[in-house]
Amino acid sequence: MFCLDNRTVRPYSLSLAVMIFCHVLLAGCAICFVYTCKKLVDSAVAAFSGASPESIIKWLLVLVGVVLMRIAVNAFRTYIQTKTEIKMKNSLRRRLFDIMLRMQSDGSRKHHSGDIINRIQEDVRVVSSALVSSLPNFIGTCLQFAAAAAFLI
C-alpha cells in the first residue's frame, strides 16, 4: 500500500543535513569544553604557583563562550527537528489518507475498521521520529565518540 520512498525523505534532506551538522558542532563543543576545562585548571594551578592570573580570565571567557554556543546550537537543532518532524508527519498522514480515500472510491475495499486510522497515526509517528530524531542523534553520537577517541589519542 505505502512504502517509505525517495519522495518521502527528499523534501527533508536539507533539514536532516542541518541537524547532522548541528550534531557535529555539538560534538566539537563537547571536545572544546573538555579542552577548555583542562586549560582552565592548568591556568589555575599555575596562578596558584605564582604566575599571572590573566590566563584564568581568558580561559574562563572561552569556557563561557563554548557553553553559550552549545546552548544556541542545541536550541537551533531542536527548532529544526521539531519543524521538520511536524511537516513530515503531516505529509505522511495526508499521503496515506489520500491512498485510503482512493481505495474507498474505486471499490477495491468496501469496509474497513477504524483501526486503520489509529494504525496510521502510530506508524507515522514512529517513522517520522525515527527519521528526524533517532537517525541524526545516532550519527551525532557516533561522531562524538570518534571525536572523543581522537582527542584522547
CA distance 49 to 72: 36
Q: How many CA atoms lie within 13 A of 124 on its CB side?
A: 20
Averaged over successive runs of 10 residues, the pLDDT of the chain (153 residues) comes to 64 89 91 92 85 84 96 95 89 81 63 67 81 86 86 83
The verdict on pTM exceeding 0.85 is no
Say whether 111 sits in a helix, a strand or coil.
Answer: coil
- The pLDDT assigned to 108 comes to 58
CA distance 62 to 71: 14
CB atoms within 10 A of CB 12: 19
Q: How many CA atoms lie within 13 A of 95 on its CB side?
A: 14
Per-residue cell: 2: 505505502
